[in-house]
Amino acid sequence: MLLDTREVCGFADYFLICSGETERQLQAICEAIEYVLKKAGVPPDYREGTPDSGWLLLDFGDVIIHIFAPFERKYYQLDELWSAATPVIRIQ
Q: Which helix (H) or strand (E) holds 78?
A: helix 78-81
Fold annotation for 2-89: Beta Polymerase; domain 2 (3.30.460)
Q: Could you give the CA distance from residue 2 to residue 24 in angstroms, rounded to a whole number?
A: 22
Burial of 15 (0-12, 13-18, 19+ CB in 10 A): buried
pTM over 0.75? The answer is yes
Query: Rounded distance, CA 27 to CA 16, Å?
Result: 16
Domain boundaries, the chain: 2-89
- Given a contact cutoff of 8 angstroms between Cβ atoms, the answer to whether 85 and 8 are in contact is yes
For 53-79, the pLDDT digits (tens) are: 999 999 999 999 999 999 999 999 998
Per-residue pLDDT of 36-53, as tens digits, reads: 999 999 988 999 999 999
pLDDT at 75: 96
